[in-house]
Amino acid sequence: MKPSKLIFQILSVILLFTSCNQHPEIGLLMDTTARERWAKDRDLFVEKVNEHGGEVTVKVADSDASVQFQQALELINSGIDVLVIIPVDMTVAAGIVKMAKKSQIPVISYDRLIRDSDIDFYVSTDNINVGEQMADFLTTVKPTGNYVLIGGPTSDNNSFQLHLGWMNVLQPLIDKGDISVIKDNFVPQWEPEEAYKMMKPLLEEGLKVDAIIAGNDALAAGAIKALKEYDLAGDVLVAGQDADIEAIRNIIFGDQTITIYKPIESLAFNAADAAVKMAKGKDPTDNMSFTVNNGHRLVPAILLDGQVVNKQNIRMTVISEGFVAEQEIFE
């Protein structure tokens, strides 16, 4: 056999072998599982990858960016095929992406966009639209008055996107003089205590608060705790997101106005499908043309829709879709 023919045959075998990776090894780096939704994301993601014959190694950083960096090193060195990241801190995560790409490992940015990095795929909710839905609902109920905005940490790109959505709706009303934003802060952690600490002095000062838009249900819960101490829970509109059980209960009892229900199952399944395709050397984008600019490139992306959950539609949304069980709510 001619040497050129032999080389060709060897190359074909290698190609066949690499593109038929039937047991993809996927690494999943998580920020935390302390907030309810993330345990669901993890379970659904792992379930789908397993269905495709793959394995997932999950590492949870407990909201410590340097721990996440270390965990990324371990996963990369363990020989994973694809890395999926829910970043603790988008700047640190950009460094993780650099490392992974050096080892030829494709990266998916999950839920939170990793800016200024060479990520291959992004799966999330349309977070600007989620912010708009929150502000739309509250301003329809209360088109005038004093609003407080509690944003999430600035290490999370979603915090900015939500804020953008809030302001898209609020700015025209502020310009008309109908609404005043009396406090607008990004807090350092997605933790209830942060919102509590932010609300407490405002209420102590006796400022009139008509509505609070919080970045997620944990922050909403902290704000409600402060409102309760001043006997104001139920009088002030409160928006959050994630459809946490506590938020659903608060909505039923009238202490919270709305939450946003994110399609976690779709998010996780889409990310899992893409990860498995990439591990098999296939292009996960098919004929997708939608992209998101992350400051470095136009990233092929899937952005799903969030849905408003209020007192009237709890049964038709989170319960009927099996996101929460009715018994769980009243436990």
Residues of this chain that interact with ligand GAL (CB under 6 A) are: 35, 37, 111-112, 156, 158, 190, 216, 241-242
The residue whose two tokens read 């309810």 is 36
Q: Which DSSP helix (H) or strand (E) runs through 73?
A: helix 65-77
Q: Which is nearer to ligand GAL, 71 or 216 (CB)?
A: 216
Which DSSP letter does residue 306 get?
P
Ramachandran sector of residue 62 (left: φ over 0; alpha: ψ -120 to 50; beta: rest):
left
Q: Which is nearer to ligand GAL, 139 or 216 (CB)?
A: 216
CB of 121 to ligand GAL, least distance (A): 17
Dihedral (CA of 167, 142, 237, 217) sign: negative
Contact 115, 294 (CB under 8 A): yes
Alpha-carbon gap, residue 26 to 279, rounded angstroms: 8
Q: Which is nearer to ligand GAL, 37 or 42 (CB)?
A: 37
Which DSSP letter does residue 62 get?
T
Give the helix ranges, DSSP H, for 147-232.
157-175, 192-204, 217-229
Q: Which residues pair with 151 in a beta bridge?
A: 186
CB of 96 to ligand GAL, least distance (A): 17
Alpha-carbon gap, residue 287 to 319, rounded angstroms: 34
**CA 20 → CA 16, 148, 258, 262, 271, distances in Å?**
6, 53, 47, 34, 20
Q: Which is nearer to ligand GAL, 173 or 268 (CB)?
A: 268
Alpha-carbon gap, residue 133 to 258, rounded angstroms: 10
Instruction: Report the residue closest to ligand GAL, judged by CB.
Output: 190
Beta strands 145-151 and 179-186: pairing type? parallel
CB of 244 to ligand GAL, least distance (A): 9
CB of 21 to ligand GAL, least distance (A): 31
Q: Which is nearer to ligand GAL, 304 or 329 (CB)?
A: 304
Q: Which is nearer to ligand GAL, 210 or 217 (CB)?
A: 217
Q: Which is nearer to ligand GAL, 114 or 279 (CB)?
A: 114
At 322, list the tokens.
Answer: 């099996």
- The angle at the Cα of 183, spanning 31 to 168, to the nearest 5 degrees, equals 75
CB of 282 to ligand GAL, least distance (A): 28
Which amino acid is it at 28?
A: L
CB of 54 to ligand GAL, least distance (A): 25
CB of 274 to ligand GAL, least distance (A): 19
Of the candidates 234, 82, 71, 215, which has an alpha carbon nearest to the alpha carbon of residue 155?
215
Q: Which is nearer to ligand GAL, 90 or 278 (CB)?
A: 90
Diameter of the chain measured on Cα atoms: 90
CB of 231 to ligand GAL, least distance (A): 29
Q: Which is nearer to ligand GAL, 203 or 261 (CB)?
A: 261
CB of 202 to ligand GAL, least distance (A): 23
